[in-house]
Amino acid sequence: MKIIVSAGGTGGHLYPALALVEYIKTQDKEAEFLFVGTTDRLESQVVPQLGYAYRGLAVKGLVGNPIQKLKNALIFIKSLKKSKQILKEFQPDIVIGFGGYPSASIVMGASQLKIPTMIHEQNSIIGLTNKVLIKKVNKIVCCYEKAYNEFPSNKTVLLGNPRASVVAHQELKNIHDLYHIPASRQTVVIVMGSLGSSSVNRVMKEALRQMQYDDYDVIYVTGKNYYEDMQKELGDLQDSIHLVPYIDDMPSLISSCDVIVSRAGATTLAEITALGAAAIIIPSPYVVANHQEYNAMELVRAKAARMILEKDLNADAFVSEIRHLLKDQTLLQSLKAHACQLGKPHACEDIYQEILKTLERK
């Protein structure tokens, strides 16, 4: 099987794509892959380093003033022409788009050449690229009921995020061992993404000062850019507060902490539900179409998480919420159970089977 995968711009698009490709390799040793993305974003660096064939497209979104939109439209037309050249050279059996502007070019080109196509939507709010492609593709895979209800029912399946399969089956470490915390101590992990959040950090400076005297440990991920500043201000806190700039094994912490506090990116929530963690979600208000709040609402409605909007975030309310959760074991276990019910640990396997079905109908 020959597969073109397109995932452009962000890790939220790229890492689910990589997870699916890695799974397919275990099922089809002869499978060939070609990644198509941007020429200058995350995937253009990560994918070649992993040893996959890669082609970059110069493409931009249709945003800006009328003149800029026109320029970007002309760039898209050129990228569509290049996409067709790539398709004719590689001759894939199927093209799968995970979002981002390059997906529009390569998936649309495949559709015009009558090559089977699939798109994956990670968020509850349908991304602009996938909106454009709805009528062009053979199959749509989504992760949330909200998106599922907005896509055409005759070609949409609710199978989840491939990252859920990765964390559900990987070997996980224990937070108590990693940070030398007594096994009897409850733990809270607070992380606002790999880069951190300056606005949340401001609140957490006061919150952590209150939490240092409580009977639990806190792992606070400051973000690389803010670590030195937070260390200078909070370096005198009790040993129960652990400041770290970045964590490269979030699944282990999610799986073994008592409460995870995080943003509502698609990959993060896929991991939280796959691992059945109790979560407090603080959606980022700085994302397109406010999609993180909608993602978080899917968990809140299912009683699988609590949510605090950033505009309502303050130290006293936050600390009170943490204390309430840690003392209420019934609520804590209920959140975990409902998160498990939303989890899709077999996402990769299910999506792979859908690929095979799509090719059978070719």
The number of C-alpha atoms within 13 Å of 10 and in the hemisphere containing its C-beta is: 15
Would you state the structure tokens that stand for residue 324, as one six-digit string?
Answer: 């309430």
Helix 291-301, helix 266-275: angle, nearest 10: 20
Q: Is there a binding annotation on residue 10?
A: yes
Q: Is there a binding annotation on residue 210?
A: no
Angle, CA 266 vertex, CA 260 and CA 267 arms, to 5°: 70
Question: Distance (Å, rounded) from C-alpha 151 to C-alpha 126?
Answer: 9
Rg of the chain over CA atoms, in angstroms? 21
Q: Is there a binding annotation on residue 153?
A: no
Question: Distance (Å, rounded) from C-alpha 343 to C-alpha 335?
Answer: 12
Q: Under DSSP, is residue 41 helix (H, G, I), strand (E, B) or coil? A: coil
Q: Is there a binding annotation on residue 165?
A: no
Q: Under DSSP, is residue 119 helix (H, G, I), strand (E, B) or coil? A: strand
| Sign of the alpha-carbon dihedral angle for 128, 134, 138, 139 | positive
- Burial pattern 98-112, b for ≥16 Cβ within 10 A else e, equals bbbbbbbbbbbbbbe
Question: Distance (Å, rounded) from C-alpha 305 to C-alpha 86?
Answer: 44
102 with 38: CB under 8 angstroms? yes
Q: Is there a binding annotation on residue 247?
A: yes
Question: Distance (Å, rounded) from C-alpha 8 to C-alpha 128?
Answer: 13
Binding site listing for UDP-N-acetyl-alpha-D-glucosamine: 10-12, 123, 194, 247, 292
Annotated binding site: 10-12, 123, 194, 247, 292
